[in-house]
Structure 1
């Protein structure tokens, strides 16, 4: 049987496709390429360029392929941008998910793993976030992810959908040079852009009550995240008991200073970050407890901070070389 990966041409989705391939599971990718790249999907993987709100395309995909379940990653994923573009966020993340669930029900597909977000928590009231922590999202993005979880729960009650949702904070690194994080909003690409352009990266606040004075956050390697999606999919498909949500986190976190030090070490670009004033509302430390995911999904942090930065930098250089090669071919 085949698993459909929506958003499978994106940074995270393409890694999930790779993880499925590693365990011998066939996939079919649905992606509108609004932020993904066709080149991230291997040529031998069936690819359907379509928006989730295109029911005809979804129905056709389910009719053509023996889909056992869906890993749903597609969506408008920028928390900051979602405040400026709430209607697009709700259309892509809520209306699109409704269309997907309708198409799944029509095709008799009853398994889903939803790529949710720690943005559902908003600003947690404790340093260690568990699945039981209050969900008080502070952006349309976080709200739509929480609504997605509600949709799954309601559809499970109504139609027997088997599902689980994965919540996580900052996804970094790369599992292969073929797939790079090209988002204009994510931390690693932003820091790399600054270093390459000769600008000094900035730290917002260095006087927090943490070991080095900078904020501590959860960073997880994208390959570890992808393996967790596949483990969840296999557990859901087999009918084993799953929690409605799992946090994927380190339980310890990494400071912004540690990230910057690793950036300097890996890139060979020596720099001292510019320290600015704290940003209002930034907690000193937020990390997720991955105990339940470790128990059920085999979740573990398999990559160090150095691994995360080194793999991201290598993939970025490969991406830039590829873009330059294409540019030369069109001149």
Structure 2
């Protein structure tokens, strides 16, 4: 298949491009490089442009024949979305509408959307399955939920077929060490911990040790980025073979606590990793874990790198490479 990967120079998108090419598909990356990196586009064509530029989108679709679009180009910081909701609605919603309208205009019918567990807000029960109501607590989660609703309407009106993949916590790095997680600023727990191990930061903060969990720290569901991309590939193949539009929660189905992540990072890195305790953050649930049963049954998806030490080990190799490169 010939796939347009929007946001393909970013963390998950770049891993997806590598996997697509390894599986014999053609990939074209559309990215404004605001959060991505030119050197993360391994061998694929890069179109440097913005989703707000409808003319640039039309030019890409007019000059090539695409079988599908994968969309990774969203802003993802929850705290920033509260402070700058306009930024999140403009990019995550309005710019996605630009992309969908260009697809409809050029007859491209298959769409894979990078969604999020944040659409659920405070879950009614854990693990979280697809039947739970969407009650997002912040503009980031609301922007993703809005796009999911838009996709339902576009499917009915224009024949678009889509798959929404709701991530829990993407983590880890390319198994070959070529790609990894690079965010500025970094907000994700595992790379922050490993930056302490590498000496780039002096400590990691643990926000609360009084949660109703075995060790008192929050539990989250971490999914290796390669396993995440494999779910995208299976979703793409399902649409290619006539599958209906649908949504899937993607996680390992087993969570790890903040303390367990720190302990694993200490084992893998061999570094002490200074920890400083801090008060709870508002809105942090004690436990967020996916129920991936639907993805396993319908997509026949099996996470193959689910062990915490494996996730940390690949991320640590990438962190070491980044520090060597910058020194």
Structure 2 length normalisation: TM-score? 0.94
Measured in 2, the distance between the counterparts of 1:301 and 1:270 equals: 30
- 1:235 equivalent to 2:234? Answer no
Deviations 1:71-105 (A, max 9, x none): 11111121111111111111111111111011101
Pairwise CA RMSD: 1.5
Measured in 2, the distance between the counterparts of 1:253 and 1:9 equals: 28
Measured in 1, the distance between the counterparts of 2:88 and 2:105 equals: 25
Shift of 1:198: 5.8
Measured in 2, the distance between the counterparts of 1:177 and 1:82 equals: 31
| Cα contact 1:177–1:319 (8 A) shared by 2 | no
Measured in 1, the distance between the counterparts of 2:324 and 2:57 equals: 35
- 1:65 equivalent to 2:68? Answer no
How many residues get paired?
A: 322
Structure 1 window deviating more from structure 2 (276-285 vs 6-15): it is: 276-285
Residue ranges of structure 2 left out of the alignment (5+ in a row)? none
Question: Secondary structure of the equivalent of 2:58?
Answer: helix
1:322 to 314, 320, 325: 325
| Cα contact 1:180–1:319 (8 A) shared by 2 | no
Question: Secondary structure of the equivalent of 1:312?
Answer: helix
Shift of 1:216: 1.1
Measured in 1, the distance between the counterparts of 2:315 and 2:115 equals: 22
Measured in 1, the distance between the counterparts of 2:274 and 2:322 equals: 26
Deviations 1:262-291 (A, max 9, x none): 111111112463333333443221101000
Measured in 2, the distance between the counterparts of 1:199 and 1:186 equals: 16
Residue ranges of structure 1 left out of the alignment (5+ in a row)? 325-331
Inter-CA distance 62–207: structure 2 relative to 1 (3 Å threshold): same
Residue matched to 2:2: 2
Measured in 2, the distance between the counterparts of 1:312 and 1:79 equals: 23
- 1:288 equivalent to 2:287? Answer no
- 1:127 equivalent to 2:126? Answer yes
Question: Secondary structure of the equivalent of 2:67?
Answer: strand
| Cα contact 1:177–1:316 (8 A) shared by 2 | no
Structure 1 length normalisation: TM-score? 0.93
